[in-house]
Amino acid sequence: MNIWKKMNRIVLYAALIIATLAALYLLDTRWSTAWDTAQVVTASRQIMPHETIEDADLAIVEMKKELIIPGALSPDQLPALIGQEALQLIETGDQFTMNRVDKQSLLKSPDMHIVEIPDKWILSVPGSLRRLDAITIYAVQTAEGANAAVNPETGTDTELDSATLSPPPISKVMEDVVIAYYKDAGVNEVRSAITEGSNPNIRDTATVRGRRLELQLNDEQLKELSSLVDQGYQFMIGYGG
């Protein structure tokens, strides 16, 4: 009997060891994968700026959660990408987020709007200006602007004394303003002229000459710019703070 008891114990211990090893194997190969990974949408090829994204450009990949970037899109969001325009160069294997394809998602806050700035408001812009650039706006009092100013009470033209104006004749009025679009006199967007083998994110030569500037502004910013125009100012656009 003692021999049978010992044999039974040995068999039981062996079974427990085998079951433990099997559980560890499943934990390492299957269960941990289910816990530690998730599916995300990635680019199946290199997508150039301004290309329309099609179904064949997208792939669903299982990826470790620690490698998934904030805002990465899951497979159920894949239909929202189809037909969108790439706002930047997207390399093969890059994870998709909506701010790479949807300019509305780039608005800094819910009170922001996309506003086209009248051509007569603008004194100068850099030739390298492109969509999504962050710019600084300088107010410059010009003789032409001052002579064109209208007295809001009388409705007549008035000469403005620069010494009485606030802010000063040349001043920085806004910074970190994002360009929503920069187009020519028609509807053609200013883009970098891309040659074979060149980096599409380097802006050397533009495809068209820019004229129409659309900025992301809130109501207070737009009111401030409009007020300065009424005082005889025009705006210079620059980079940096």
Domain assignment present for 212? yes
pLDDT at 186 over 90: no
Domain boundary among 76, 102, 128: 102
Does residue 77 sit in the same domain as residue 184? no
Share of the chain above pLDDT 70, in %: 66
Domain assignment present for 107? no
pLDDT digits (tens, 9 = 90+) for 2-52: 666 666 666 666 777 777 776 666 656 555 555 688 899 999 999 887 788
Does residue 68 sit in the same domain as residue 165? no
| Contact (CB, 8 A) for 211 and 184 | yes
Residue 24, CA distances (Å) to 27, 31, 32, 124, 227 in order: 5, 10, 10, 68, 71
Does residue 170 sit in the same domain as residue 67? no
Domain assignment present for 136? yes
pLDDT at residue 7 in the model: 67
Q: How confident is the model at residue 236 (pLDDT cuts 50, 70, 90)?
A: very high
Q: How are the residues of the chain apportioned to helix, strand and coil, as percentages rounded to the nearest 5?
A: 30, 25, 40
Please give the model's pTM, rounded to 2 decimal places. Answer: 0.54
The CATH number of the domain where 97 resides is what? 3.90.1210.10
pLDDT at 59 over 90: yes
Does residue 182 sit in the same domain as residue 214? yes
Does residue 130 sit in the same domain as residue 190? yes
Q: Give the dihedral sign, CA 71/76/78/80.
A: negative
Does residue 119 sit in the same domain as residue 157? yes
pLDDT at residue 176 in the model: 87
pLDDT at residue 86 in the model: 85
